[in-house]
A = this chain, B = another copy of it.
Amino acid sequence: MFIQIIDILGTIAFAISGVLVALDKRMDAFGVLIIAFVTAVGGGTLRDVMIGIEPVSWMRDMTYVYVIIGSAFFAVLLRQKINYLRTSLFLFDTIGLGLYTVVGIETGLVAGLKPIICIALGTMTACFGGVIRDILCNEIPVIFRRKEIYATACILGGLSYFLLLKVMGDSNFVFILSGLIVIITRLLAVRFNLGLPSLYKKEE
């Protein structure tokens, strides 16, 4: 129950982040809805298709569809005021990031895949909705450009998951703790402005 509420909050945050990008690109109402949808379910869809879980998740559980349509509608209506909500949005997005990572990892485990693949699936679930959003908006995906800690937090959380699994055995704590590690890493990185080391001599 608790998990499901967090899941829905994450979906809302991702959907709204999609709406904001689409509005920046001056898309029409249909475009805004699709970008909201793709941002929220794109990562999980890619994961499901690659593993072979079909029909993909959002086709089987209608909650996502309703939540996304609702969020998009709400975000468009309040678009003038949504800037005041940016801090809450950032929090939702970070919570979604942590949760989606662990959901992706566990989906991989259920399919019998190796840990390193599961970590990749977790990161994909959390980050690739945003990647597809950026491709549809004709941008180089933001997570490939900024040296920000974003996908890195997912990878770190994924490593922790398997470490904790070894130490504690299969338990809900593993889920919660490794999700928290993603969230805390991300929060600390933004708070203290930490980033990946630059690969280039002189940044423009």
A147 located at the interface, meaning its Cβ lies under 8 Å from any Cβ of chain B in the complex: yes
Contact (Cβ within 8 A) B51 A55: yes
A124-160, CB under 8 A of B: which get 1 and which 0? 0000000100011111110111111011100000000
A35 located at the interface, meaning its Cβ lies under 8 Å from any Cβ of chain B in the complex: yes
State the 8 A-B residue pairs at the shortest beta-carbon distance, nearest first: A52-B54, A31-B144, A28-B147, A138-B140, A27-B144, A59-B117, A30-B151, A29-B196
Once A52-B54, A152-B30 are accepted as A-B contacts, the answer to whether A62 and B116 lie under 8 Å apart by CB is yes
Q: Which residues of A contact B (CB under 8 A)?
A: 22-23, 25-32, 34-35, 45, 49-52, 54-56, 59, 62, 65, 76, 79, 111, 113-114, 116-117, 120, 131, 135-141, 143-148, 150-152, 195-200, 204
Contact (Cβ within 8 A) B151 A144: no
What would 19 more interface pairs be, CB under 8 Å, given A30-B150, A51-B55, A52-B54? A23-B199, A25-B140, A26-B200, A26-B204, A27-B199, A28-B195, A28-B198, A30-B151, A34-B144, A45-B50, A49-B54, A50-B56, A51-B59, A59-B113, A59-B117, A79-B199, A131-B136, A137-B140, A138-B138
Number of copies: 3
Contact (Cβ within 8 A) B22 A144: yes
Residues of B close to A31: CB separation below 8 A: 141, 143-145
* Cβ contact of A76, chosen from B136, B199, B204, cutoff 8 A: B199
Contact (Cβ within 8 A) B199 A28: yes
Residues of B close to A56: CB separation below 8 A: 50
Alpha-carbon separation in the docked complex, A204 to B117 (Å): 46
Alpha-carbon separation in the docked complex, A118 to B199 (Å): 41
Alpha-carbon separation in the docked complex, A111 to B25 (Å): 35
Alpha-carbon separation in the docked complex, A56 to B25 (Å): 33
Alpha-carbon separation in the docked complex, A97 to B197 (Å): 34
